[in-house]
A and B are shown apart, each in its own frame.
Chain A
Amino acid sequence: MRRSHPLITVLAMLTVGFLYLPLVAVAVFSVNATRYGLVWRGFTLDWYIKLFHNEFILEAAWNTLALAVVSTLVATILGTVLAIGMDRFPWGRKANTFLDLVLHIPVVIPDIILAAALVVAFGLLRLISTVFEPGLFNMIIGHITFQISFVALVVRSRLVSIGRDVEEAARDLFASTPYLLRRVTIPLLLPGIVAGAMLAFTLSLDDFVISFFTAGPESVTLPLFIFAAVRRGVTPQIHALSTLVVLITVILIVGMERVTRK
């Protein structure tokens, strides 16, 4: 075993502390038996109990979940189809470079730009139908637009690692395209699809910017609620809510790691 320099160890610990101390602080305050101040007054689960009696919060939680589930389902299907189409269709080299670019733009572009673009797009679409009034429907579409890229990237890397040999073998063994997809491609892709879906789900859960620009009065999500509440002062209830969101995210990420490692 190699021993690292003590300085490196210290730096690493400081970095981890810098990253996680605020989260730990939030978690600690969420069980602190005082409404104000930074002094420890004993352990309580009151804030969590109050949280579950707060109608606004419950509605926001429900909106967040509905938004995340629906957008993730749609984005996972479309992203998987996109990845298969990009990787398995014999595109020319130029077309491939172009598709690659198109796929990466929503990943690297600042959320705020995408959000502003969506506002413009929905403004135009509203001329056609009132369905595009700000609200949950728009938020779902907005989330799908950036989730697709993440799903497609994860699924495509899995496609590359599977390689084409196995699919060629299946064709050589008389498999029609539907049979090939059902019996070979999809089962082998499944870990990638699940990982992509979990990534998309956490992104939707945490998203603030896109939601903020596309939400209507009826469609407040947890990040939006927290943002609004914090402006009126941070309460221990917010700490409790934040801690729960972090916990769910951590569980999903650990789950994703498990699936992809297979």
Chain B
Amino acid sequence: MSSKIDKGLSVKDIDKSFGEVKALVNVSLDVHEGEFFTLLGPSGCGKTTLLRIIAGLELRDTGRVILGGQDITDLPATKRQVNTVFQSYALFPHLNIFENVAFGLRSRKFPQNEVEGRVNRRMEMLELQEMADRYPHQLSGGQQQRVALARALVNEPDVLLLDEPMSALDAKLRAQVQVELRRLQRKLGQTFILVTHDQAEALVVSDRIAVMDQGKIIQFGTPKEVYEQPKTLFVAEFLGAANLLHGRGLDGGIQTELGFFHLKQTPKWDNGTVAIRPERIRITDNPPEKNAVKAKVREAIYRGTNIDLWLEPGPMRVRTPAHRNYELGDEVWLELPPEGLVILDE
């Protein structure tokens, strides 16, 4: 890509209601060219609606969509340099795989030799060349997904939209496809926007994540930022297990039922919550100097690479390397280091 214009996508102040239901409330975001951007949220949070508005398949109530500096808000889907991989794949059941992939080129009347060249190149890239003459129902789920991907990518869209493309795959294949998708996006250098409710998937593939809830974007950030520095209770809990401590905000710490805990900053609220991930809690035999909790093992779940412990008081969840055995009823000291404790907004 040698063009100097930024092919990034901006969404500005989008509102969308279905009758009384507000699907999107004043949503704005910027996706940079070549970025793998993920909209993450529970079902019904508006992420698919936002994707459909970007694709031109849904009308917004207010707001604008800008692609590569051009306002595309009022362009129909057929005029946007944006292509979609649908959740159901939506392959054409009456066309063979070659014609499925070629559809976007044929509908724009590309000459036959160019259609063949481009389709064959994409099919090779996604290891579909053997499938050219087959029909969608003769393919496995994973193969169908690759056809859907090839069918969209053959058009070299400015932005590729992916609507929960892994939801129909089994867990093992999904993990593999996530890595392949990430690798493909890096290789092509194209802008991808993925919609998913699977936090693990979002962490694996994304450059940046927008966490959504009830039609609003709650937090933007890299996977590391949203996982380790969640802004709200919702983000902390949606992106994995979190231990929560409620209490009074004091100078440089928080006073809770379990005692005083030092924090890196002074909380801005009087009463509130701090969170810590299970793997950030340290287990020690001797009482630590500060931020200590004495706890009893209630449940120990062996997971191969590590052990998940449920402890009283709390229940508190701790993830620790599996090189030591824990028996139920064991008494241990926990250290909740200040750099692991995240102050959540009210």
* Interfacial residues, chain A to chain B (CB-CB below 8 A): 163, 165-166, 168-176, 179, 183-184, 187-188
Which A-B residue pairs are the 3 nearest by beta carbons?
Answer: A173-B104, A169-B90, A165-B90
CB distance from A179 to the nearest CB of B (A): 5
B83 to A, closest residue via Cβ: A172
The 8 A CB mask of B136-176 against A (1 = contact, 0 = none) is 00000000000000011001000000000000000000000
Q: How many residues of B contact A (CB 8 A)?
A: 25
The 8 A CB mask of B55-82 against A (1 = contact, 0 = none) is 1110000000000000000001111001
B91 contact set on A, CB distance < 8 A? 166, 169
A184 contact set on B, CB distance < 8 A? 92
CB distance from A181 to the nearest CB of B (A): 12
Give 11 pairs: A residue, B residue, CB < 8 Å, sorted on A. Answer: A163-B88, A165-B90, A166-B93, A168-B57, A169-B84, A171-B57, A174-B79, A174-B155, A176-B107, A179-B107, A183-B106
In the complex, A97→B57 CA distance in Å? 25
B238 contact set on A, CB distance < 8 A? none
B106 contact set on A, CB distance < 8 A? 183
The answer to the question of B86 belonging to the interface, with a C-beta cut-off of 8 Å to chain A, is: yes
Q: Are B107 and A174 in touch, CB under 8 angstroms?
A: yes
In the complex, A170→B90 CA distance in Å? 9
The answer to the question of B323 belonging to the interface, with a C-beta cut-off of 8 Å to chain A, is: no
The answer to the question of B103 belonging to the interface, with a C-beta cut-off of 8 Å to chain A, is: yes
Which of A163, A172, A187 contacts B84, CB < 8 Å?
A172
The answer to the question of B108 belonging to the interface, with a C-beta cut-off of 8 Å to chain A, is: yes
CB distance from B167 to the nearest CB of A (A): 14
Q: Are B103 and A175 in touch, CB under 8 angstroms?
A: yes
In the complex, A192→B247 CA distance in Å? 65
Most buried by A among B79, B91, B94, B107: B107
Which of B76, B86, B108, B155 contacts A169, CB < 8 Å?
B86
In the complex, A184→B104 CA distance in Å? 13
Q: Are B94 and A173 in touch, CB under 8 angstroms?
A: no
B99 to A, closest residue via Cβ: A183
In the complex, A250→B92 CA distance in Å? 33
Q: Are A172 and B93 in touch, CB under 8 angstroms?
A: no
In the complex, A207→B107 CA distance in Å? 44
Q: Are B77 and A172 in touch, CB under 8 angstroms?
A: yes
CB distance from A251 to the nearest CB of B (A): 27
A174 contact set on B, CB distance < 8 A? 78-79, 104, 107-108, 155
A163 contact set on B, CB distance < 8 A? 88
CB distance from A71 to the nearest CB of B (A): 29
Q: Are A187 and B94 in touch, CB under 8 angstroms?
A: yes
B92 contact set on A, CB distance < 8 A? 166, 169-170, 184
User: Given A176-B107, A179-B107, A183-B107, is A171 in contact with B76 using a C-beta cutoff of 8 Å?
Assistant: yes
User: Given A166-B92, A188-B93, is A173 in contact with B155 using a C-beta cutoff of 8 Å?
Assistant: yes
- A165-B86, A172-B83 given; name 12 further pairs at CB < 8 Å: A166-B90, A166-B93, A168-B77, A170-B107, A171-B57, A172-B56, A173-B103, A173-B151, A173-B152, A174-B107, A175-B103, A183-B107
Give the contacts of B213-251 with A (CB-CB under 8 A). none
B78 contact set on A, CB distance < 8 A? 171, 174-176
B57 to A, closest residue via Cβ: A168
B78 to A, closest residue via Cβ: A174
B94 contact set on A, CB distance < 8 A? 187-188
A165 contact set on B, CB distance < 8 A? 86, 88, 90
